[in-house]
Amino acid sequence: MDKKVTVIGAGNVGATAAQRLAEKELCDVVLIDIIEGVPQGKTLDLTEAAPIEKHDASLTGSNGYEASKDSDIIIITAGIPRKPGMSRDDLISTNMGIMKNVTKEAVKYSPEAILIIVSNPLDAMCHVAYEASGFPKNRVIGMAGVLDSARFRAFISMELNVSVENTHAFVLGGHGDTMVPLPRYSTVAGIPITELLTEERIEALVDRTRKGGAEIVGLLKTGSAYYAPASAAVEMAESILKDKKKILPCAAFLDGEYGISNLFIGVPVKLGSSGIEEIIEITLTEDEQNALNNSANAVQELVETLDKLEKESK
C-alpha cells in the first residue's frame, strides 16, 4: 500500500477502525497501545483474517511509536471512559495527559500527518492535540459530527422504513447533550424530513440522536459504542486518503466562522488530501444559531477547565 495510517489505542474503537481500514484496503495500518501484546495480538488476528476477507493491507502492532513513522493519518482513540464516581474534571484531567503524550510521540515520527481525534471529551481533546502537535488547524480534525449524523440518519431510516442510503443529515456543535441536529438540512432522497414527519416525531428523533451514545452505554452496561465511531473515523480517513473532498460534519478549529472563534466545533467541512480544505458556512435560522452558540459555550467551559488544570499542574 502507498498509504499508511496509525491508530493509537487498541481498544474496541481503535481495533475496529484498524479492521475497517485494512478490509477496505485503504492503507497499511499500525496499531499502537501501551498494553504489551494487545496491539500485536489484534493485528496478528486481523492479518490471519486477510486471506478470507481478501485484502493485502499490512497490519503491524506495537507498544512504541517507531512503527508509525511517516504515517499519512494518525487516528487517536486512546483514553479512558468515564467511570462511576468520576467527575468530568477527573476524566478531562486524565485524558488530557494521555492525549498530550501520545500526540507528541506520534507527531515526532510523522510531522506531516493529519490527526483525527476520537477520544473524549472530544472537543476538548481536539484542543489538547492541536496545542501539543503544533500542527496547522487544517490538520487537526475531530470525529463527532459524522457519528452523530449517522445516528440521526439511522433513526430517520428506521422511522420512515426507507434505505439508509437515501438519508442525509447534519448535526453540528459540540459532541454532547448540546449538539445541534438540523432537520431543515436532513433529507430522504432530497426531500426534507420536515415534509415527511410531524414536528413531534422529528423532535423525538433529535432527542434520541443527542442521547445516542448514552443509550448504547445503558444497554451494554460495561462499555460504550465502537462500531459506528470506528466507521465514522474511517469515512473521514478515506476522504483524506483518496482526496475525495467529501463534505462531512467534523470538529474544526473556527476562526470567526459562524461567529465563533478559537474553538473546535462541529461544522460542515470539505475533507481532502490536505485535511480540512474548506469550512462550509450554511445559513442558520436564529434558533439554530442560538443553539450552536449554546453548544459553543459548553465547549468553551471544557476548554476553560483544561486551562485551569494546566495551570494547577505547573
The string of pLDDT tens digits covering residues 263-312 is: 999 999 999 999 999 999 999 999 999 999 999 999 999 999 988 888 87
pLDDT for position 1: 81
Each as own residue / partner, the long-range contacts of residues 208-213 (CB below 8 Å, 24 or more positions apart, any chain) are 208/151, 208/155, 209/148, 209/151, 209/152, 209/155, 209/171, 209/179, 209/181, 210/177, 210/179, 210/181, 211/177, 212/148, 212/151
Q: How confident is the model at residue 177 (pLDDT cuts 50, 70, 90)?
A: confident
Residues 222-226 have a mean pLDDT of 89
Confidence of residue 82 (pLDDT cuts 50, 70, 90): low
Q: Quick one: fold of 145-304?
A: L-2-Hydroxyisocaproate Dehydrogenase; Chain A, domain 2 (3.90.110)
Candidates 3.40.50.10420, 3.40.50.720, 1.10.510.10, 3.30.420.40; CATH matching 4-142: 3.40.50.720
Grid cell locating 303: 476548554
Q: Where in the chain do CATH 3.40.50.720 domains reside?
A: 4-142
CA distance 205 to 199: 10
Phi-psi region of 161 (alpha: psi -120 to 50; beta: other; left: phi over 0): left
Of the residues 55, 127, 168, 175, which is catalytic? 175
Lowest mean per-residue pLDDT among 11-20, 76-85, 221-230: 76-85
Average pLDDT, the chain: 95
175 included as an active-site residue: yes
pLDDT tops 70 at residue 158: yes
What pLDDT is recorded for position 313?
74
Q: Are strands 114-117 and 73-76 parallel, antiparallel or unpaired?
A: parallel
Strand pairing category for 167-168 and 171-172: unpaired
Location of each CATH 3.90.110.10 domain in the chain: 145-304
Confidence of residue 176 (pLDDT cuts 50, 70, 90): confident
Asked if pLDDT for residue 105 goes beyond 90, the answer is: yes
- Pairwise CA distance, residues 122 & 152, whole Å: 19
DSSP 65: S
List pLDDT tens digits, range 235-267. 999 999 999 999 999 999 999 999 999 999 999
Condensed to tens digits (0 to 9), the pLDDT of residues 88-101 reads 667 788 999 999 99
Residue 163's pLDDT band (boundaries 50, 70, 90)?
very high
